[in-house]
Amino acid sequence: MKTLTIGWLYPELMNIYGDRGNIIALTKRAKWREIKSEVVELNPGFSDKDLSRCNFLMMGGAQDQQQSIVNKDLRKHHKTLSEMIGNGGAGLYVCGGFQFLGNYYREADESIIDGLGIFDLFTVNPGPDKPRLIGNIAIETNIKEITRPIVGFENHGGRTILGENVEPFGKVLKGHGNNDDGLEGARFKNSFGTYLHGPILPKNPEFADHLLKLALGVGELKPLDDKLENEANEAIGKLLRIQQESPNS
């Protein structure tokens, strides 16, 4: 089986709300299956050559100042990133990373920050008089091997609206999602955008394994004992009063 090569986009700038845990979860779950993994840290000034050798990409969120630096640097790699995602490259993009892939972000003063236009969506900041969308969240997805609600924590001011050429990551069971329209995140081919922090992958092992299979190009993975991971998932479900099956508890 080939090596899992994770391209971690801007780890020094885009890493709030514990999103580093997504990298840890993927590499640990690979190691427990005796799959070699490598993490390539892609900080400002990285080359397209380094980007192209990755079979999984991850980008987290950040504050406004850091996101401005990243937005400028990321544009240098638009063509390569667009080709990788368009050709089915696997990836997870959280919060600010998710917004960057859209068409644009309209700030509270109505100024426009152009996105990469890879995901057909846009995001609007409604202004300081509107509340941030904060709290625990649970969603359901139509990915067949995911049997449990996907849970996490959201904290975002922007409201994201999906276009016709992208599907949501899931439907909101409890929480806000993209803009209180009942949808959360986005899915385009094998890449996922989401507002779920926490981080998302340690307490959603089925989704973590789905991403591993997409990255490695395999249909099955060696089963793991996910008792602790599922208990973490269920703990959030109980807080939100979400009923769910517990096959591995």
Q: Which two tokens stand for residue 108?
A: 């509270």
The yes-or-no answer on residue 197 being catalytic is yes
Single-letter residue type at 228: L
Residue 199: asked if its preceding bond is cis (omega within 30°), the reply is yes
Q: Spot the catalytic one: 77, 156, 176, 197.
A: 197
User: Which burial class, exposed, middle or buried, applies to 6 when counting CB atoms under 10 A from its CB (0-12, 13-18, 19+)?
Assistant: buried
- Pick left, alpha or beta for residue 11 (phi over 0 → left; psi -120 to 50 → alpha; otherwise beta): alpha
**Phi first, then psi: what are they for 55, rounded to 5°?**
-110, 5
Q: Which two tokens stand for residue 161?
A: 């609206």
Residue 238 contacts by C-beta under 8 Å, 6 or more apart in sequence? none
Residue 111 contacts by C-beta under 8 Å, 6 or more apart in sequence? none
How far is the C-alpha of 219 from the C-alpha of 209, rounded, in Å?
10
The yes-or-no answer on residue 210 being catalytic is no
Q: Spot the catalytic one: 54, 77, 95, 156.
A: 95
How far is the C-alpha of 235 from the C-alpha of 52, rounded, in Å?
38
Beta bridge partners, 114, equal 104
How far is the C-alpha of 35 from the C-alpha of 114, rounded, in Å?
38
Which residues are the active-site residues?
95, 197
